[in-house]
Amino acid sequence: DQQVKQNSPSLSVQEGRISILNCDYTNSMFDYFLWYKKYPAEGPTFLISISSIKDKNEDGRFTVFLNKSAKHLSLHIVPSQPGDSAVYFCAASGNNYGQNFVFGPGTRLSVLP
């Protein structure tokens, strides 16, 4: 049973446009959410996070939105750049010390020049 779902295995976006990556979760005990991106042959790199007390967090071109009632979060990248092409993982956690992160299966983003 997947507790964190990313239903789009892949996404292609034109350079300069907005990329929207979606994530759904089933466990209502999750209270902290993160996005990681992963390039080939590298480990995942932390991108942005949001706690359940917020519904939006912004960092430069990256914004994460959280809809707790729908158990849904999304990552917006504006404007998208070719260097953003990577696999993006949504992850969730339900305690104060970061143990037991639950990751989604990932979405492969391709930003076309």
Q: Compute the radius of gyration of the chain from its Cα atoms.
A: 13
Report which secondary-structure segment, H or E, holds 48. strand 45-51
DSSP-derived secondary structure letter, 84: G
**Binding string to other proteins for residues 54 to 83, with x set by CB under 8 A, is what?**
------------------------------
Phi, psi for 25 (deg, rounded to 5): -135, 160
Q: Per CB under 8 A, does 98 bind other proteins?
A: yes
* Residues 12-51 close enough to bind other proteins by CB under 8 A: 32, 34, 36, 41-46, 49
Q: Per CB under 8 A, does 53 bind other proteins?
A: no
Question: Residue 64 corresponds to which tokens in the numbers above?
Answer: 């994460």
Binding site for other proteins (CB under 8 A): 4, 6, 32, 34, 36, 41-46, 49, 89, 91, 93, 96-106
